[in-house]
Amino acid sequence: MSSILIKNSRIVDENRDQVGDILIRDGVIEKIANDISEHADTVIDAAGKAVLPGLIDMHVHLRDPGYTYKEDILSGCEAAAAGGVTGIACMPNTSPVNDNPEVTEYILLRAKHAKARVYPIASITKRMFGDELTDFHQLKRAGAVGVSDDGKPVENGEKMAQALQNGALAGLLPISHCEDLSIIDGGIINKGAVSEQLGVKGMDRLSEDSITEREISLAKRTGSPVHIAHVSTKGAIEAIRRAKSEGVPVTCETCPHYFILTEQELLKRDADYRMNPPLREESDRAAIEAAVLDGTIDCIVTDHAPHSAEEKRDFEKAPNGVVGLETSLAATLTALVHTGKMDLQQLCRLMSGNPARLLKVPGGRISEGEVADLTIVDLGEQWTVVPEKLHSKSKNTVFKGKNLIGKVKMTLLRGNIVFED
């Protein structure tokens, strides 16, 4: 029986903030107390550092199977561990699409020895074509924790309504990518002053706002939950806030780049700042930040979307997407915690507790009897994001060259050290 004793740390989750020790035995937290003197195989002095529950990122593209030159399950989980992330929900837009138990089982088999837990999100429709629903019960039995056609919406509203009902019956969370592709019509960045200045086709915010409104209406009509992915507009968040006040079963997420950056970054004509949905205006950024702080937004995720340097070379032709597993915690600490806008307990709720509850997976809190998925963080350490030093196969980060405050020093998965700085 292996054991680890973490001494002198600040222990924080959504329900606690205390200084003390944590005794881990056989991958489980056995004891939390002010001073533990029991013998352990490994003793870690975490004085001056915080121990947080391992982060759970419920929106990640691992590109495996099919696009492993961008990322694979093992490299993505290595990047996750370096960012303090111990649980990943991976999206189904792979090749082949994760629309059947065989692909779900392949992902879980590949992830068996990875440095993070991997939770497959299966597709809502077969081959993500939008016409025929997948077998949710079959996918659930294979190990899927949610369903999504991420990268695009399910265009047929009645089909999506059926998906919400099937998801509720199967115990799978439907996650909606809210962008009307007919409105986007080939746009590559936010439609506004910057797209006009650059002379490129923009994406009208109506594309996101309209599908968000539709999903809310379907959730209200069916009484079945829906989760809105990567919210980026003021209009979408206002609709979600209103729906929540009416008791509609809707939850949502956003990414650090939406509450930190704006479309002004695109003036560099650098495709590393292009993603779906795109960086928006300052009014949108401020609205997303406010919604994170007031609890309208349930989760902070990354939408980690790796692309090769070659693919990102041409500003106008490059695919959309950015990596984020190694920067999400530090970026959120820098922008919200160190500025006094949010406390660590709220961060833990948004980045660990709420995702665990929504996906119905282990972790999300630090308590006796809970899995020992933990991250040890030096909250005050400053570091500069150097893309070449990232563990991901792809380096397309919006935070390159940025100085962040808060560095992951160690990550534990099932009580084993999987990353150490």
DSSP alpha helices (H): ranges in 223-379?
234-245, 256-260, 282-294, 328-332, 344-348, 354-359
The DSSP code sequence of 164-187 is: HHHHHHHT-EEEE----HHHHTT-
Catalytic entry in 72, 150, 180, 303: 303
Cβ neighbours of residue 215 closer than 8 Å, sequence gap 6 or more: 160, 176, 178, 226, 228, 250
CA distance 252 to 231: 7
| Local structure of residue 47 (DSSP, 8 states) | T
Decide: helix, strand or coil at residue 28: strand
Judge contact between 56 and 18, C-beta under 8 A.
no
How far apart (Å, rounded) are the C-alpha atoms in residues 391 and 25? 29
Q: What are phi and psi of 8, to 5 degrees?
A: 60, 30
Q: Is 131 a catalytic residue?
A: no
Give the span between the Cα atoms of 106 and 148, in whole angstroms.
18
Catalytic positions, written as ranges: 303
